[in-house]
Amino acid sequence: MPKSNPHTKWKLALLLAMLAFAITLINALRSVYPIGYAGLYTLMFEGIAENGFRLPEALPYYNAQPIPFAYPPLPFYIAAVITRVFGISSLTYLRFILVPLAAGCVVAFYFLLLEVGKDTRIAALGGVLFLSMPEIAHYDFSAAGMVRGFAMLFVLLFWLFFWRTYYADEPHGRNGLLAGVFLGLTGLSHLSYLVFAGFGVVLMMVFSERRWKEKTIQLAWVGGIAAVLMSPWLVLILNRWGVGTLLAPMASHDNFQLARGLLYLLRIANLNPPWMMALFLIAFLHALTHKRWLWVLWFLLTLVGFGESDRFLLLLLIVMTVELLRFWLEKISTEANLIPKQRWIPLAVITVLVIGLSIPNYITLFRQQQASLTEEFIEMGNWLRENTAPDAEVLLIESDPALNEWLPYFSRRVPETGHWGTEWLGTYNEESSQQFLVRGIAVNDDYELLIESTRHFGWDPEFTVLPKKSALTALFLEQGIPIVFENQAYIVVEMP
């Protein structure tokens, strides 16, 4: 462990936890509904509870074909147990589980940065950056964070203990044990985070200066523990669905495509202020010029290997930024001949810099973290559930992707288009492109594109749902298509 004042170390950890707690609690209290989408995930953990806590074989409603329940199951079992034992509603669970998850993630990341950067205050600034990233909040601290938030927590804890195993001055067997446990828990939570961890394992093995024999034994110890934890689930899924289903997600989300990775890099640039991106760019160049090949190659592997890489790229950029800030602090202190008591001066400048760059991101975060669900939407979904045939297909023309994801959960009806869960069927990219078209139709009120897409893809919904404010609504009504449901926000028409 780095030499640091233990009181300062834990005080800063507590402050970061309190910051994460405040941000996520405020978001949870801003609406009676969860932020973002998690209809499929909610269906999963409710299905586990209803099935006597046995893992269901498949999931209904989200596709015309049953979706294999091949998802790593740990977060769903946690949700099923908590909601069933404590009598908490599913939507309440989705709102508030993110509060302890965000606090746990930032503390775990802080201690990792402390291992890497050897400076408590610089590590704390890395935690401030972590919490300010809208992309990380979108994936890990919105409703879908009931899965990804656990995966993020476990992968950060794995990274912390694996780093200690390979880079600490005095590695202990318990670090390898804990690394193996958290690697296994990562794999039981989300496979993308497991792959990200796998990239790191390979590179940390290569760049660690320990003897290869020692590194190999440690890797076997860590990997063996993870394999033991994951094996019951893996055996069950392989027995039910075969290896093809387990590997099918690798061909989805445009994984292993450089163009897609660059697109998400541009997304990071679009969502962050220019000065924040300048800091990240300087940090990357600093890592490159100082031959920090572990971070550089891990970054490049992640860029190419993931179709949705931004959250992982940001973790690595923050690590590189922490190393850059520590380098600046040491360089300024040395060249100015500062005694230890005077180091607070450059540290204060760096702190103001980081916090100043982070404030716009926190503002963006609060603007983006809004609940999509409304009482009118849920009312419409419940009407479909109670008043249409069980095999009826529904087309929702809605610009908000979160609402498209929630509809099958509330309506218990199959959507005409929808890509959620189809990575296990091997049809994700095709289904995703259709859903993208529906969003374009809704955004632009493009009736001609709707007709063209209906003919091209053979859409034939029994019911179409439209927002009342949409210009398409008037076009439907002009053709005499009967309204079968209407509230303040939506109409449902029965297609001829």
Helix (H, G, I), strand (E, B) or coil at 426: coil
274: exposed, middle or buried (Cβ count in 10 Å: 0-12, 13-18, 19+): exposed
Amino acid at 408: P
Q: Are strands 393-396 and 463-467 parallel, antiparallel or unpaired?
A: parallel
Q: Residue 421 region, left (φ>0) first, then alpha (ψ -120 to 50), else beta?
A: left
Cα atoms in the 13 Å half-sphere on the side-chain side of 42: 23
**pLDDT for the residue numbered 253:** 64
Q: Are 408 and 322 within one domain?
A: no
Six-digit token string for 426: 């091997």
Q: Are 361 and 386 within one domain?
A: no
Six-digit token string for 464: 């179409």
Cβ-contact 159, 50 below 8 angstroms: no
Q: Are 361 and 385 within one domain?
A: no
Q: Are 256 and 135 within one domain?
A: yes
Residue % of the chain over a pLDDT of 70: 96
1: in domain: no
Q: Are 403 and 341 within one domain?
A: no
**pLDDT for the residue numbered 304:** 87
H or E stretch covering 230: helix 212-247
Q: How many helices (H) and strands (E) does the chain have?
A: 21, 7
194: in domain: yes
Q: Are 360 and 385 within one domain?
A: no
Q: Is the pLDDT of residue 5 over 80?
A: no
Domain that holds residue 439: 375-494
34: in domain: yes
Distance CA 135, CA 36 (A): 13
Q: Are 317 and 393 within one domain?
A: no
Collect all residues with Cβ–Cβ distance below 8 Å to 70 and sequence separation of at least 6: 237, 240, 241, 245, 246, 424
Q: Are strands 58-59 and 67-68 parallel, antiparallel or unpaired?
A: antiparallel
Q: Are 451 and 345 within one domain?
A: no
455: in domain: yes
Helix (H, G, I), strand (E, B) or coil at 393: strand
Distance CA 403, CA 411 (A): 12
H or E stretch covering 388: none
Q: pLDDT band at 172, cuts 50/70/90?
A: low
**pLDDT for the residue numbered 250:** 77
Q: Are 397 and 343 within one domain?
A: no
Q: Nearest-CA neighbor of 167 among 194, 196, 204? A: 204
Q: Is the pLDDT of residue 141 over 70?
A: yes
Q: Cβ–Cβ contacts within 10 Å for residue 485, how many? A: 17
Q: Nearest-CA neighbor of 109 among 153, 167, 165? A: 153
Which domain-ending residue is among 315, 342, 368? 368
Which domain-ending residue is among 323, 338, 368? 368
**pLDDT for the residue numbered 2:** 43
**pLDDT for the residue numbered 4:** 55
234: in domain: yes
Beta bridge partners of 467: 490
Total domains in the fold of the chain: 2
Cα atoms in the 13 Å half-sphere on the side-chain side of 120: 17
Q: What is the pTM of this model?
A: 0.94
Tokens 């689930």 belong to 233
Q: Cβ–Cβ contacts within 10 Å for residue 440, how many? A: 14
Among 204-208, 259-263, 334-338, 450-454, name the one with the lowest average pLDDT. Answer: 259-263
Q: Nearest-CA neighbor of 420 among 42, 54, 52? A: 42
51: in domain: yes
Collect all residues with Cβ–Cβ distance below 8 Å to 64 and sequence separation of at least 6: 393, 414
Q: Are 210 and 281 within one domain?
A: yes
Tokens 């005077």 belong to 342
Q: Are 427 and 475 within one domain?
A: yes
Crossing angle between the packed helical segments 258-271 and 274-289, to the nearest 10 degrees: 130
327: in domain: yes
pLDDT digits (tens, 9 = 90+) for 447-496: 899 999 999 889 999 999 999 998 898 888 888 889 999 999 999 999 88
Q: Are strands 414-415 and 393-396 parallel, antiparallel or unpaired?
A: parallel
Distance CA 118, CA 228 (A): 33
pLDDT digits (tens, 9 = 90+) for 38-47: 999 999 999 9
Q: Are strands 67-68 and 490-494 parallel, antiparallel or unpaired?
A: unpaired
Q: Is the pLDDT of residue 261 over 90?
A: no
